[in-house]
Amino acid sequence: MSDTVNSAGWRLKFAGAALAISILAVIWFAAAALGTKYGLWGWQFGLGKMTIGWGPIIAFGAAGLAVIAVIVGLIKSPRTQPVILALGALLIALMLVFRLIGFGAQAGSLPPIHDIQTDWDDPVRFSEALLAQRKSDDAMNPVEEAPVIPESPGVEERWPGMGGRLVSEVQEEAEQPKMVDGEETAPAYDRPIEPVYFDQSPGEIAAYATRLAEARGWDIFTRPETSEDVEETLLEATETSGWFGFKDDVAVRIRAVNGATRVDMRSISRVGLSDLGANARRVSGFMDELADRANGRREP
């Protein structure tokens, strides 16, 4: 074994260095996320600089170095150890590269909004207590009745024509398929964001909704009334993302309407322009599961 290692010489060391750099690249991205989550730096630095700004340079650099290490390892015998190390480095680096490419494609395909709800005609309103909590936590995104996508060079560059448009209109468009070059493409969101109706009382549905929110690990801020005679009640909660620790606030409005119980939901991020579809997935996923558990329907 020692003769093999010695004969591999600098090629083995080069492959080992490539593997070490690929592993360090993984640690870099993990540090960017966890440092943000635990308050070592702001999300603008952890996500904006470390991940989006410097991340591609690090990932592609590690992949390029790994490719060179593979080629060098194949030049002459012994090949086994240098090539194995180099292929390991390449596999790790490509994992990061493809993750970044997918992240970029996802960001480009989704609208620049971070406030999603089932009823923009009669918006779901958060309590004054939760709004005060958002303010004390330095939430950058305001909660508005009719929010508008900001007009800025950055928005116009990445999402032409979106600046100044109502979020409600953009959300509706994201729920519908588009025509591109004469062909219908899939909608940006998997399914329409719409209310759900139930035959049970608002209090009974509120109990279902609370258990579901708890099962999802949300921090319950306002617990709804669950008595049989309640006509309208509100569930408020906050979900914290696993890696970066981003907080999104949720409000579930449950009320009696024309002999049925109607459930509407709103989910809004505290920071960031685009939520990468997280709020839409949260609303549709929660509403689907609530409908499955309590035999809900999409029509009154």
Residue ranges of the domains in the chain? 2-109, 115-294
Per-residue pLDDT for 6 more than 70? no
Query: What is the CATH superfamily name and number for domain 115-294?
Result: Kinase associated domain 1, KA1 (3.30.310.80)
**pLDDT tens column, 237-262:** 999 999 999 999 999 999 999 999 99
Confidence band for 138, pLDDT divided at 50, 70 and 90: very high
What average pLDDT does the structure give for the chain? Answer: 93
Q: What is the distance, to the nearest Å, from the Cα of residue 225 to the centroid of all Cα atoms in its chain?
A: 30
Residue 191: what pLDDT?
84
Per-residue pLDDT for 8 more than 90? no
**Local structure of 279: helix, strand or coil:** helix
Would the CA dihedral through 57, 107, 19, 49 be positive or negative? positive
Residues 180-209: what's their mean pLDDT?
90
Confidence band for 7, pLDDT divided at 50, 70 and 90: low
Residue 179: what pLDDT?
65
- Per-residue CA distances from 66 to 91, 94, 133, 251, 289 (Å): 9, 9, 48, 48, 45
Per-residue pLDDT for 2 more than 50? no
Per-residue pLDDT for 224 more than 90? yes
First-to-final CA distance of the chain = 75
Per-residue pLDDT for 3 more than 50? no
Residue 282: what pLDDT?
97
Q: Which residues pair with 220 in a beta bridge?
A: 237
Residue 154: what pLDDT?
85
Per-residue pLDDT for 184 more than 80? no
**Which of 117 and 191 is assigned the larger pLDDT?**
117
Residue 295: what pLDDT?
94
